[in-house]
Amino acid sequence: MTRWEAITRGEVDIGFTGRESHPRSRELLSLLPLAIDFEVLFSDLPWVWLREDHPALRETWDLDTFLRYPHISICWEQSDTWALDDLLQEMGRKRHIALSLPGFEQSLFMAAQPDHTLIATAPRYCQHYNQLHQLPLVARPLPFDAQQREKLMVPFTLLWHKRNSHNPKIVWLRQAINTLYRRLI
């Protein structure tokens, strides 16, 4: 079953996903099926998360430092690579992925553990998780210029089938979710 079948079959009314902005991505909003309608709730840039005693924090923060250390990757829409890897490939560079996990929260938890040099890349909104769990992590911006970072923007998106675009219950639910996100983010 594809990820959109539950929405198109009417088994699920609303979905939530992070998409990508890199022009070569398979996860662009413009590539959603025609039957799927969407609204971007918020957009966020990934940041680099390092343990507060990580050796990279004693070095100049640049691309070489970022790539020198092993990375924790997230399985993004059933893929271990994402727009960050596409951008690095354009530059003729590659990161060493030492560990792959299913979610951002797990990657932050692992990055916070002692006795390793793993680093995580996760959206800036993960700062809330970091604060809630008092993880010993420091966030650094990805070491790219503004134009490159723009390709890494992640639009977090609410999805629904077009047949439900005017369904009062679904409209109410979308508005309630949107209001909640506007307060939180």
Co-location of 145 and 169 in the same domain:
no
What CATH number is attached to the domain comprising 132?
Answer: 3.40.190.10
Co-location of 111 and 141 in the same domain:
yes
Q: Which domain holds residue 56?
A: 46-150
* Residue type for position 129: Y
Q: How many domains does the chain have?
A: 2
Co-location of 36 and 62 in the same domain:
no
Q: Which of 138, 155, 159 is nearest to 37 (CA)?
A: 159
Q: What is the DSSP letter of 72?
A: E
Q: Spell out the per-residue pLDDT of the chain, length 185, in tens.
A: 566 788 989 899 999 888 887 777 778 788 888 999 999 999 999 999 999 999 999 999 999 999 999 999 988 666 667 889 989 999 999 999 999 998 899 999 999 999 999 999 999 989 988 999 999 999 999 999 999 999 999 999 999 999 999 999 999 999 999 998 888 76
Co-location of 65 and 138 in the same domain:
yes
Co-location of 61 and 130 in the same domain:
yes
Output the furthest CA–CA distance in the chain (Å, rounded). Answer: 55
> In the prediction, which pLDDT does 2 show?
60
> In the prediction, which pLDDT does 5 show?
83
Co-location of 55 and 122 in the same domain:
yes
Co-location of 138 and 64 in the same domain:
yes
> In the prediction, which pLDDT does 88 show?
96
Do you know the residue count of the chain?
185
* Helices of type H across the chain: 5-8, 63-68, 83-90, 104-111, 127-132, 146-150, 168-184
Separation CA 41–CA 173 (nearest Å): 13
Co-location of 122 and 54 in the same domain:
yes
Co-location of 68 and 82 in the same domain:
yes
**What backbone phi and psi angles, to 5 degrees, belong to 97?**
-90, 115
